[in-house]
């Protein structure tokens, strides 16, 4: 009868630890789903990369699709948690928008696995996202901040009226997501030059310029 105190979670003895087991499974699942897609992923493979067994996957997540949905929710959660940490309140509208756009670009680059899960969900026509009230009801900090910056900019008279924050978000997302999601095919065909650090910084700068130009004047 050992007394493994096990203060910092995760230990083997074994002691029961539902939360750690769930987290362990979910983290492996995200990486497997991101790498192989929904039908390409093997539940046995996930289990084998886990400290626990396949039994636990079904115990906690019901079935493969249930696990996938949780992974999808987690992907969105992490992406949005990162956005929420961004503070723009101290900056004037122009600079705030520039910072937000540049951040979005970098943030997507830093989280390729989550972008890939979103791609996979798109392949499946967003059916599981539609099922998940959690993910659908989730706040989208980037859009909120964007709308707020637009409002401030218009109030200050530096942005033109009639801006559509959702359309702006769509444009920023498009470049930021494409940069990650289509990198394999794009670089296979056109070479890897655009994905080296210097080129990425230039693309990011151009994205910021494009968005600012779009927001400032209709026709100069």
Least separation, in Å, of the C-beta of 125 and DNA?
18
Question: Of the candidates 28, 41, 97, 116, which one interacts with DNA according to CB under 7 A?
Answer: 41
- Of the pair 18, 92, the CB lying nearest DNA is at 18
Least separation, in Å, of the C-beta of 210 and its own copies?
5
User: What is the C-alpha to C-alpha distance for residues 56 and 21, in angstroms, rounded to an integer?
Assistant: 8
Q: Does 63 bind DNA (CB under 7 A)?
A: yes
Contacting residues toward its own copies, per CB under 8 A: 36-40, 116, 118-126, 129-130, 136, 140, 143, 166-167, 169-171, 173-175, 177-179, 181-191, 193-194, 199, 202-203, 206, 209-210, 213-214, 220
Question: Of the candidates 27, 35, 49, 56, which one interacts with DNA according to CB under 7 A?
Answer: 56
Inter-helix orientation angle 165-181/197-216, to 10° = 170
Span near DNA by CB under 7 A; candidates 46-54, 110-118, 171-179, 189-197? 46-54
Burial class (CB in 10 A: 0-12, 13-18, 19+), 58: middle
DSSP H helices, the chain, are 18-36, 43-48, 54-61, 64-84, 93-110, 112-123, 127-131, 133-137, 141-155, 165-181, 183-190, 197-216
Question: Of the candidates 5, 7, 8, 55, which one interacts with DNA according to CB under 7 A?
Answer: 55
Classify the C-alpha dihedral 8-14-15-17 as positive or negative: positive
Residues that bind DNA (CB under 7 A): 13-18, 21, 41-44, 52-56, 58-59, 63-65
């Amino acid at each position: 009868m050992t007394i493994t105190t096990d203060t910092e979670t995760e230990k083997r003895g074994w002691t029961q630890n539902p939360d750690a087991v769930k987290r362990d499974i979910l983290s492996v699942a995200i990486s497997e789903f991101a790498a192989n897609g929904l039908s390409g992923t093997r539940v046995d493979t996930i289990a084998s990369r886990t400290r626990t067994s396949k039994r636990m996957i079904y115990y906690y997540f019901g079935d493969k699709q249930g696990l996938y949905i949780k992974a999808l929710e987690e992907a969105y959660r992490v992406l949005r948690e990162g956005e929420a940490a961004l503070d723009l309140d101290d900056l004037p509208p122009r600079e705030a928008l520039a910072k937000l756009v540049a951040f979005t670009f970098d943030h997507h680059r830093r989280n390729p696995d989550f972008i890939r899960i979103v791609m996979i969900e798109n392949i499946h026509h967003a059916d599981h996202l539609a099922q998940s009230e959690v993910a659908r009801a989730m706040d989208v900090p980037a859009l909120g901040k964007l709308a707020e910056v637009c409002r401030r900019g218009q109030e200050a008279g530096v942005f033109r009226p009639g801006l559509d924050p959702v359309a702006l978000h769509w444009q920023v997302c498009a470049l930021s997501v494409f940069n990650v999601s289509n990198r394999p095919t794009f670089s296979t065909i056109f070479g890897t030059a655009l994905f080296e650090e210097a080129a990425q910084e230039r693309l990011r700068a151009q994205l910021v310029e494009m968005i600012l130009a779009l927001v400032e004047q209709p026709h100069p």
